[in-house]
Amino acid sequence: MRETWGWLLVLVALCSGGVQAGPGEADAAFERQFGDAFLDRYWRENPEAGIASGYYRYAADLLVPDAAYRAHYLRYLDGALADLAQVDPSALSEARRADWALLKNRLESERWGLSTFKQWQWDPSLYNVAEPIALLLNTPYAPEPQRLRTVMTRLAKVPAFYAAAKAAISQPTREHTQLAIQQSAGVLDVLGKGLEVQLAGSGLSAAERTEFWLRLRAARAAAQSYIAWLKALDARLALDGSARSFRIGETLYEQKFAYDIQSGSTGKQLYERALAEKERLHARMSVLADQLWPKYFPDTAAPADRVEKIGKLIAKLSEQHTTREDFIAEAQRQVPMLEAWVRDHDLLTLDASRPLQVRETPLYQRGFSIASVNAPGPYDPTANTYYNVSPLDDYTPEQAESFLREYNRWQFQILNIHEAVPGHYVQLVYANKSPSKIKALFGNGAMVEGWAVYSEKMMLESGWGGFEPEIELIHSKWLLRVVSNTIIDYGIQVLNWPEQRVLDLIRNEAFQSETEARGKWRRATLSQVQLTSYFAGYSAIYDYRERLKRELGPRFDLKRFHERFLSFGSAPVAVIESLMRPQDAAKP
Ligand code: ZN
Ligand code: ZN
């Protein structure tokens, strides 16, 4: 009898355990609490981020960034984090556990930003009303009159917005102050003549147009007053030397690194690893250069200096490039070849139902990058994924030549691997199969960029490029840029490196052009940690794969590893590692 009762109790316990804490029920509860309703509240608190993500419900609200707003937002974050703390992550399925971890990191990172990092205090370029307005004017998500009314509602608060900005800023950096002055000119452009013309030809009533025009005039005046105020501030900072340094220092750097990268390592560890990788790459490139030298310079002896020898060979190889007329056609030709290669070498399963369309970059998106993947976001109704390639139309012949040399015969293949197959596009197709808005909206940049860089290495390992020293040398130069981005970011932000040391490293040790070096210095003074994301993600993925290979020996299955790894969506590498089991990468 007792034994029977015991059985029954065990069964009841198992059943009720299954009902209360099994992944199905726990997942459903998590999705109810942190699904669409949670996101809707989040966009209500962050209308601009909503607009950028294609969620327009709160698009008319321009939040005034004053002290009351910051206190309110902190309370919102604390509340959401308290709700999240009520969830037992171990009861969730793998996919939801990753969502839980991503959301927790996101909210904690925002709280840290508001209360500790305080960029709102020292970065005047944060205060910019133009981008959401430009998006509302240029994205046909609704009929034009409706979008203009949304903009009109936002415009009413622009004067209060800039007044709050002036009150929030104290002891800014000169670099961010000057950036704000420069970008505020862009605000006047978005609020300029073009908008007046659009308004005049719109379906708004005469009364609405008058009201719009009055608000537009007041908004312009507020932006102009902000620019004048910033210029006076910059002049004063130049005189009294009271500007804050753009270098954030070790403590803040490590905190930001932990939130942004989420790789499990520290910024310092990654920096040291990058230094070692630079040495390894130089040694390898020297060997490759020795192999190639007689082929490309049959009549001259190689320079004794390693860096000079490598540099000369890279310059020589760069002469082999396509023309500006053939640039897009060449990408269109290569993408199917890369797809066939991935299939034939059992690297990954490609989804034939989501073809990638190679096209010229549309006009309004030009000027940012030469090639990029344009993917539908979670709120975007269009299903097509585009590979945008710049037509180089607005380049002078000299600029085009220098550009084509940079994206020479070998580099162009690496670019297509990185952006398209099996890089960003393939990762994205897999990520979209993990039906999680949280991962799609708050995905980890280091994982996304790390995968693209990893995929270059993996393609060369599989024999793409025929193991020729040329493609390995050019790829090494590309990797060296990724590696040196990490080194200079840490060097500048934590180790106080002066400009000259940074420029020398980029030019002489990473074989980059003068323009690249100057642009990189500027970017590294304005951002922190972001430059490390490529190398951080790449090295974390590569290490993880090598560890699984050692553990599994001959049972390791590359294709299964890739597919399982990508099935978690754009979660941080450390989170994927905690969710994946070694047998997931083993031969079936
Ligand atoms: Zn040329
Ligand atoms: Zn990328």
Closest-approaching ligand to the CA atom of 403: 1
Position of tokens 């030469």? 370
Closest-approaching ligand to the CA atom of 316: 1
Residue 381 has pLDDT above 50, yes or no: no
Closest CA to 536 of 450, 442, 424, 427: 450
Contacts 24+ apart (CB under 8 A), 343-347: 345/462, 345/463, 346/558, 346/559, 347/422, 347/458, 347/459, 347/462, 347/558, 347/559, 347/562
Is 266 domain-assigned? no
Q: Are 271 and 486 in contact (CB under 8 A)?
A: yes
Identity of the amino acid at 35: G
CA of 279 to the centre of ligand 2 (A): 24
C-alpha neighbours within 13 Å on the C-beta side of residue 201: 5
DSSP codes of every residue in 51-88? HHTT--TTTT-----SHHHHHHHHHHHHHHHHHHHTS-
CA of 323 to the centre of ligand 1 (A): 8
CA of 315 to the centre of ligand 1 (A): 10
CA of 417 to the centre of ligand 2 (A): 10
Are 494 and 551 contained in the same domain? Answer: yes
DSSP H helices in 241-305: 249-261, 267-296
pLDDT of the residue at 544:
96
Instruction: Return d(Cα 380, Cα 383) in angstroms, integer.
Output: 8
Closest-approaching ligand to the CA atom of 407: 1
Closest-approaching ligand to the CA atom of 414: 2
Last residue of a domain, one of 87, 117, 147: 117
Residues whose CB falls within 8 Å of the CB of residue 465, separated by 6 or more in sequence, listed in order: 410, 413, 459, 471, 472
> What are the phi and psi torsion angles at 356 (to 5°)?
-95, 130
Are 145 and 228 contained in the same domain? Answer: yes
295 or 14, which is more confident: 295
End-to-end CA separation in angstroms for the chain: 45
Among 253-262, 507-516, 548-557, the least confident range: 507-516
CA of 403 to the centre of ligand 1 (A): 9
Closest CA to 480 of 266, 268, 274: 274
> What are the phi and psi torsion angles at 373 (to 5°)?
-95, 130
Closest-approaching ligand to the CA atom of 322: 1
Distances (CA, A) of 495 to 82, 241, 250, 268, 274: 37, 21, 8, 10, 15
Last residue of a domain, one of 85, 117, 149: 117
- Rounded mean pLDDT of the chain? 91
Closest-approaching ligand to the CA atom of 409: 1
pLDDT of the residue at 370:
75
Residue 404 has pLDDT above 80, yes or no: yes
Are 34 and 89 contained in the same domain? Answer: yes
Is 332 domain-assigned? no
CB atoms within 10 A of CB 252: 18
CA of 449 to the centre of ligand 2 (A): 5
Residue 16 has pLDDT above 70, yes or no: no
CB atoms within 10 A of CB 342: 24
Residues whose CB falls within 8 Å of the CB of residue 18, separated by 6 or more in sequence, listed in order: none
Q: Are 369 and 349 in contact (CB under 8 A)?
A: no
Residues paired with 244 in a beta bridge:
173
Give me the sheet containing 356-360, strands edge to edge: 356-360, 385-389, 371-374
Among 290-294, 340-344, 380-384, the least confident range: 380-384
Are 108 and 136 contained in the same domain? Answer: no
Mode of pairing for the β-strands spanning 371-374 and 385-389: antiparallel
Is 188 domain-assigned? yes
Are 463 and 574 contained in the same domain? Answer: yes
CA of 472 to the centre of ligand 1 (A): 21
Is 365 domain-assigned? no
Which percentage of the chain shows pLDDT scores above 70?
A: 94
Are 235 and 102 contained in the same domain? Answer: no
**Both tokens of residue 210?**
């008058």
CA of 424 to the centre of ligand 2 (A): 7
58 or 406, which is more confident: 58
Is 252 domain-assigned? no
Distances (CA, A) of 414 to 148, 331, 333, 429, 450: 43, 11, 14, 20, 14
Position of tokens 């890089």? 423
pLDDT bin (cut points 50, 70, 90) of residue 7 is very low
Is 379 domain-assigned? no
Residue 378 has pLDDT above 90, yes or no: no
> What are the phi and psi torsion angles at 97 (to 5°)?
-65, -40
CB atoms within 10 A of CB 169: 21
Are 104 and 136 contained in the same domain? Answer: no
Instruction: Return d(Cα 71, Cα 585) in angstroms, integer.
Output: 47
pLDDT bin (cut points 50, 70, 90) of residue 18 is very low
Within the chain, what is the greatest distance between any pair of CA atoms? 97
Distances (CA, A) of 111 to 102, 117, 118: 14, 9, 10
Query: 563-587 pLDDT, tens per residue?
Result: 999 988 889 999 899 888 999 999 9
CA of 448 to the centre of ligand 2 (A): 7
Closest-approaching ligand to the CA atom of 397: 1
Are 152 and 105 contained in the same domain? Answer: no
Which percentage of the chain shows pLDDT scores above 90?
A: 74
Residue 71 has pLDDT above 80, yes or no: yes
Query: 492-503 pLDDT, tens per residue?
Result: 999 999 999 999
Last residue of a domain, one of 117, 148, 167: 117
Residue 282 has pLDDT above 60, yes or no: yes
DSSP codes of every residue in 291-352? HHHHHH-TTSPPPSSHHHHHHHHHHHHTT----TTTHHHHHHHHHHHHHHHHHHTTS----T
CA of 262 to the centre of ligand 2 (A): 18
Are 68 and 144 contained in the same domain? Answer: no
92, with CB counted inside 10 A (0-12, 13-18, 19+), is: buried
Number of domains the chain is built from: 3
CA of 326 to the centre of ligand 1 (A): 13
CA torsion, ordered 565, 567, 572, 575, to nearest 10 deg: -80
Instruction: Return d(Cα 123, Cα 494) in angstroms, integer.
Output: 19
Among 62-76, 383-397, 474-488, 545-559, the least confident range: 383-397
Instruction: Return d(Cα 142, Cα 134) in angstroms, integer.
Output: 14
Once rounded to an integer, what is the mean pLDDT over residues 126-133?
Answer: 92
C-alpha neighbours within 13 Å on the C-beta side of residue 343: 9
CA of 221 to the centre of ligand 2 (A): 39
Instruction: Return d(Cα 203, Cα 145) in angstroms, integer.
Output: 6
Closest-approaching ligand to the CA atom of 456: 2
40 or 355, which is more confident: 40
297 Rama class: left (phi>0) / alpha (psi -120 to 50) / beta: beta
Are 564 and 473 contained in the same domain? Answer: yes
Is 82 domain-assigned? yes
CA of 407 to the centre of ligand 1 (A): 11
Q: Are 54 and 379 in contact (CB under 8 A)?
A: yes
CA of 554 to the centre of ligand 1 (A): 46
pLDDT of the residue at 139:
83
Please tell me the pTM assigned to this model. Answer: 0.89
Are 136 and 99 contained in the same domain? Answer: no
Is 331 domain-assigned? no
CA of 325 to the centre of ligand 1 (A): 13
Are 464 and 573 contained in the same domain? Answer: yes
Residue 131 has pLDDT above 80, yes or no: yes
For 402, the domain range is 286-321+397-415+436-585
Q: Are 537 and 263 in contact (CB under 8 A)?
A: yes
* Helix (H/G/I), strand (E/B), else coil: 556: strand
**Both tokens of residue 194?**
């073009």
Residues paired with 173 in a beta bridge:
244
The single-letter DSSP state of residue 359 is E
* Helix (H/G/I), strand (E/B), else coil: 393: coil
Distances (CA, A) of 552 to 243, 344, 466, 558, 561: 55, 24, 28, 11, 11
pLDDT bin (cut points 50, 70, 90) of residue 376 is low
Q: Where are the beta strands (DSSP E) in 515-563?
A: none
Q: Are 86 and 24 in contact (CB under 8 A)?
A: no
CA of 159 to the centre of ligand 2 (A): 38
CA of 463 to the centre of ligand 2 (A): 22
Closest CA to 166 of 238, 233, 70, 116: 233
